[in-house]
């Protein structure tokens, strides 16, 4: 085999040239097959957080065992490795065609060119849903096709690597990588129980395989201490790697959960991203805080800025709105619903400078009629006025939008109905039904409390004001910690019920409770995720006040639909922002439009001193705070970087302990341990250690081709031959075998190329490859 051949090349070569070794015992093979199936199922568990369960779950559960059984039967018949994988692939392909492509397949099972085209369309639809959707994704046909097909492909690969190629640790790395994908896509707390379960199954696979290898191994040299230790050496190394990996993962998982990577430019840390699924508690409790964006507006105060709108509620969580997007016209015009003709509309122009926000959504006010300055492909969601992109990141961009905000008088909004009127207009938005639906098992306290608080009110608007005043009263407390301490840190129905009992929480709880209580009163309501208006900076720009918005001003608030007006925001969160209210038409003028004859107060805006953390948490909204501390910016990366370094060091550490044990035995005169140490060093450096080569021939090759010192090699060869063939099994005296091994290994290392030396240090192959195995015999020479 050539010196430039990679491990992947050797794995492919293995597929067509299986090793000349006996098959595993049937019982071990069945146990390994079963353990592999369990590992595949455990790997898919995190996917249920990202994709709603559906028919795909049955495909994931039932199809892999069929493929694994096919592979098991093929191996028992001693078919070549490539034939085993080919048989599994054919069975998997037929299953996919029958399940997803049978309408275009010949006889319902044989794919045709039309089937290929249909499969491509399904993949495109799945990718579009993944890029543009929000977790948990709806299990549509394209996504199910991608998941089931990917699971079958993973089954074939893992079966080949574990059961045919007999490289379980390589498969373990792949399984853990697949397991991590949903956690990276939707950053939440790591499910440690599921990870420990996966680790246990992986360790079981490693142990079963090493046990089978030990049964195949030839008897070791007599009178050798390595005879007792080697039998469990590989198993111990494999178990050690797995155990250390589990411990390290448990230690650094919380650190990694603070790191979020999203598409686009710029580094993403937890504080400069937005989770649109109302999982805001950890973000708000995080000590790190940085400037996200700056706002300059022609209005009297900065607006609330929305990033996502959540209308669907299933009792457990609120889901971001989905639906058809509309392209933005070349002139930046956006299609938006208009209020009734008698409702005055105030137009404001707002400029946004994104300082550090990694998102595929552009923060805007509501409702906007035009936007300009965004680079990339952006679209609007007409149902909620959000601006989204499937391919572009908003980070570092500057843009300007025009908002046309309805400003009804108190008389007009009282005359408008949220409960019965406006059904047709709201239905045109595409989300009306979702904004009214309540789960069947809604805790009674929510509806009962809503009825009690709004008792005696005459209009829908008065009822909502009563709710808003009640939440902002002294009966409630803003707290980031109470939900954690009392176990209701979420937005589900049970969490809302607990919040109404404890009466302490943060914006998610106030907004969720308000929206659900409004729905119990028959009013369409939804939740918006975005940012509070921020804090005014000292220096205006072009005559307009500039506001700095910090990551700590991440916020959620409810909206209720009124006939003839549209979606009206409310601010129930205690101590934050400005409560919604409207004034009679004959009162003072509108501060946003001094020339107008009406006198309503503006919709919710935060005063310059408003803070998302009213309990003494540093707001840092000034110019000075906007310049991020380099040390603070680096902190989120230091933990993951340290964790990566620790993981990379694990093989080296285990190899060092293994080498120490062998050298200790060699120092005591154990020739078997000294010879084993030399063999493992050769394997680490990519030097072949074939099973059919005698110690003398192996030593001569090391001297001739790998730079080993002749005298030292000769001493080791004589020592291992003496230990192996002497009648008494006595060891030679007067020779420091450990020193001799060090001398030979130093010669091999000096002669090896730099790449081989680096791989021997960071990824020692001897932890996976046993001297005399097929892979040890296929090692690549690494001469200078």
**Whether pLDDT at 479 is above 90:** no
Res. 229 pLDDT band, cuts 50 70 90 = very low
237-257 residue pLDDT tens: 445 445 544 444 444 444 444
CA dihedral of residues 739, 743, 745, 751 (deg, nearest 10): 170
**Whether pLDDT at 595 is above 70:** no
Mean pLDDT over 17-46 rounds to 75
Asked if residue 671 belongs to a domain, the reply is no
Q: Give the model's pLDDT for residue 429.
A: 47
42-55 residue pLDDT tens: 888 888 877 877 88
Q: What percent of the chain has pLDDT over 70?
A: 70
Asked if residue 486 belongs to a domain, the reply is yes
Task: Provide the domain count of the chain.
Answer: 1
Res. 388 pLDDT band, cuts 50 70 90 = confident
Q: Give the model's pLDDT for residue 475.
A: 92
Q: Give the model's pLDDT for residue 544.
A: 72
- As a whole number of angstroms, the distance between CA 706 and CA 136 comes to 57
Residue in 421, 467, 503, 474 with CA at minimum distance from that of residue 580: 467
Residue in 405, 350, 461 with CA at minimum distance from that of residue 590: 405
Asked if residue 118 belongs to a domain, the reply is no
**Whether pLDDT at 614 is above 50:** no
- As a whole number of angstroms, the distance between CA 666 and CA 678 comes to 11
| CA-to-CA separations, 338 to 211, 409, 426, 566, in angstroms, rounded | 73, 16, 12, 8
Mean pLDDT over 472-480 rounds to 89
Residue 106 β-bridge partners: 110
Res. 539 pLDDT band, cuts 50 70 90 = low
Q: Give the model's pLDDT for residue 278.
A: 55
Q: Give the model's pLDDT for residue 233.
A: 46
Residue 696 phi/psi, 5° resolution? -65, -40
Asked if residue 112 belongs to a domain, the reply is no
Q: Give the model's pLDDT for residue 604.
A: 52
- As a whole number of angstroms, the distance between CA 280 and CA 111 comes to 47
Asked if residue 719 belongs to a domain, the reply is no
Q: What percent of the chain has pLDDT over 90?
A: 13
Q: Which two tokens stand for residue 660?
A: 């120490």
**Whether pLDDT at 483 is above 80:** no
Q: Give the model's pLDDT for residue 448.
A: 94
**Whether pLDDT at 653 is above 70:** yes
Residue in 406, 370, 740, 360 with CA at minimum distance from that of residue 592: 406
Q: Which two tokens stand for residue 204?
A: 């079981």
153-189 residue pLDDT tens: 999 988 888 887 777 777 777 787 787 777 665 555 5
3-state SS class at 41: helix
Q: Give the model's pLDDT for residue 215.
A: 57
Asked if residue 8 belongs to a domain, the reply is no
Q: Residues 23-27: contacts with CB within 8 Å, 24+ apart?
A: 23/75, 23/76, 23/78, 24/212, 25/212, 25/215, 26/76
Mean pLDDT of the chain: 75
Asked if residue 239 belongs to a domain, the reply is no
Q: Give the model's pLDDT for residue 511.
A: 92
Q: Give the model's pLDDT for residue 143.
A: 85
Total residue length of the chain: 784
- What 3 state SS string does 678-747 have? HHHHHHHCCCCCCCCCCHHHHHHHHHHHCCCCHHHHHHHHHHHHHHHHCCCCCCCCCCCHHHHHHHHHHH
Mean pLDDT over 24-31 rounds to 75
Mean pLDDT over 212-241 rounds to 47
Q: Give the model's pLDDT for residue 452.
A: 94
**Whether pLDDT at 9 is above 80:** no
Count helices and strands in the chain by DSSP H and E runs: 26, 17
The answer to which of 368-372, 570-574, 653-657 has the lowest mean pLDDT is 653-657
Mean pLDDT over 403-429 rounds to 74
Q: Give the model's pLDDT for residue 465.
A: 93
Q: Give the model's pLDDT for residue 558.
A: 93
The answer to which of 332-336, 728-732, 779-783 has the lowest mean pLDDT is 779-783
Asked if residue 720 belongs to a domain, the reply is no
Residue 563 domain boundaries: 291-615
123-162 residue pLDDT tens: 888 877 676 555 567 788 888 898 899 888 999 988 888 8
Q: Give the model's pLDDT for residue 57.
A: 87
The answer to which of 111-120, 242-251, 537-546 has the lowest mean pLDDT is 242-251
268-323 residue pLDDT tens: 444 455 666 556 555 565 656 788 899 988 877 888 999 888 888 888 888 888 77
Res. 102 pLDDT band, cuts 50 70 90 = confident
Res. 443 pLDDT band, cuts 50 70 90 = very high
């Amino acid at each position: 085999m050539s010196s430039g051949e990679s491990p992947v090349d050797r794995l492919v070569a293995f597929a067509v040239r299986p090793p000349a070794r006996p098959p595993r015992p049937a019982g071990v093979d069945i146990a390994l097959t079963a353990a592999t199936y369990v590992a595949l199922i455990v790997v898919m568990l995190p996917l249920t957080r990202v994709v709603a369960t559906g028919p795909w779950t049955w495909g994931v559960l039932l199809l892999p065992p069929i493929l694994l059984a096919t592979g098991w039967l093929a191996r028992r018949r001693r078919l070549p490795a490539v034939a085993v994988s080919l048989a599994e692939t054919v069975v998997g392909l037929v299953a996919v065609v029958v399940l997803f492509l049978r309408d275009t397949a010949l006889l319902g099972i044989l794919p045709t060119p039309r089937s290929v085209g249909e499969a491509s369309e399904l993949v495109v639809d799945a990718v579009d849903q993944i890029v543009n959707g929000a977790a948990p994704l709806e299990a549509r046909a394209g996504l199910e096709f991608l998941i089931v097909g990917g699971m079958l492909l993973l089954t074939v690969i893992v079966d080949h690597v574990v059961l045919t190629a007999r490289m379980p640790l390589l498969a373990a790395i792949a399984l853990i990588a697949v397991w991590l994908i949903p956690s990276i896509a939707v950053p939440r707390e790591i499910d440690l129980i599921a990870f420990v379960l996966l680790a246990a199954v992986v360790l079981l696979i490693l142990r079963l395989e090493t046990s089978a290898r030990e049964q195949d191994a030839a008897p070791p040299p007599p009178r050798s201490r390595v005879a007792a230790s080697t039998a469990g050496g590989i198993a111990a190394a494999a178990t050690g790697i797995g155990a250390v990996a589990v411990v390290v993962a448990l230690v650094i998982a919380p650190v990694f959960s603070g790191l979020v990577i999203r598409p686009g430019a710029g580094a993403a840390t937890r504080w400069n991203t937005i989770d649109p699924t109302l999982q805001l508690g950890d973000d708000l409790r995080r000590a790190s805080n940085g400037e996200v964006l700056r706002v300059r507006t022609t209005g009297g105060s900065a607006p609330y800025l929305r990033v996502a709108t959540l209308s669907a509620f299933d009792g457990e969580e609120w889901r971001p709105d989905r639906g058809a997007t509309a392209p933005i016209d070349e002139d930046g015009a956006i299609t938006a619903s208009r209020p009734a003709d008698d409702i005055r509309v105030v137009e404001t122009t707002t400029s946004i400078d994104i300082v550090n926000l990694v998102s595929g959504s552009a923060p805007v006010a509501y409702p906007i009629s035009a936007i300009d300055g965004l680079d990339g492909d952006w679209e609007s969601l007409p149902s909620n006025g959000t601006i989204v992109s499937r391919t572009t990141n908003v980070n570092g961009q500057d843009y300007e939008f025009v908002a046309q905000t309805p400003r009804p008088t108190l008389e007009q909004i009282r005359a408008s109905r949220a409960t019965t009127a406006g059904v047709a207009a709201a239905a045109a938005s595409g989300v009306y039904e979702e904004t009214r639906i309540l789960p069947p098992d809604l805790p009674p306290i929510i509806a009962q409390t809503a009825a009690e608080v709004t008792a005696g009110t005459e209009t829908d608007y008065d009822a909502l004001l009563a709710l808003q005043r009640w939440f902002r009263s002294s009966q409630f407390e803003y707290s980031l910690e109470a939900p954690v301490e009392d176990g209701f840190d979420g937005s589900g129905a049970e969490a809302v019920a607990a919040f109404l009992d404890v009466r302490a929480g943060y914006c998610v709880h106030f907004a969720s409770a308000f929206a659900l209580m409004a729905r119990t009163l028959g009013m369409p309501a939804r939740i918006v995720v975005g940012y509070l208006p921020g804090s005014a900076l000292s220096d205006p720009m072009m005559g307009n006040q500039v506001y700095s918005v910090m990551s700590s001003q991440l916020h959620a608030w409810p909206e209720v639909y009124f006939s003839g007006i549209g979606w009206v925001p409310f601010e129930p969160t205690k101590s934050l922002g400005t409560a919604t209210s409207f004034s009679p038409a004959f009162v003072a003028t509108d501060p946003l439009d001094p020339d107008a004859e009406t006198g309503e107060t503006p919709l919710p805006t935060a005063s310059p001193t408003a803070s998302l953390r009213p309990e003494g948490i540093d707001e840092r909204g000034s110019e000075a705070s906007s310049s991020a501390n380099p040390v603070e910016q680096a902190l989120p990366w230091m933990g993951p970087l340290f964790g990566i370094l620790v993981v990379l060091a694990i093989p080296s550490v285990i190899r060092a302990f293994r080498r120490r044990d062998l050298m200790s035995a060699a120092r005591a005169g154990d020739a078997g341990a000294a010879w084993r140490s030399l063999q493992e060093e050769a394997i680490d450096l990519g030097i072949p250690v074939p099973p059919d080569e005698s110690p003398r021939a192996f030593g001569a090759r090391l001297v001739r081709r790998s730079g080993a010192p002749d005298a030292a090699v000769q001493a080791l060869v004589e020592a291992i031959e003496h230990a192996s063939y002497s009648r008494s099994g006595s060891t030679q005296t007067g020779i420091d075998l450990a020193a001799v091994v060090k001398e030979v290994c130093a010669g091999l290392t000096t002669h090896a190329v730099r790449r081989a030396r680096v791989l021997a240090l960071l990824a020692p192959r001897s932890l996976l490859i046993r001297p005399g195995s097929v892979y040890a015999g296929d090692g690549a020479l690494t001469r200078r």
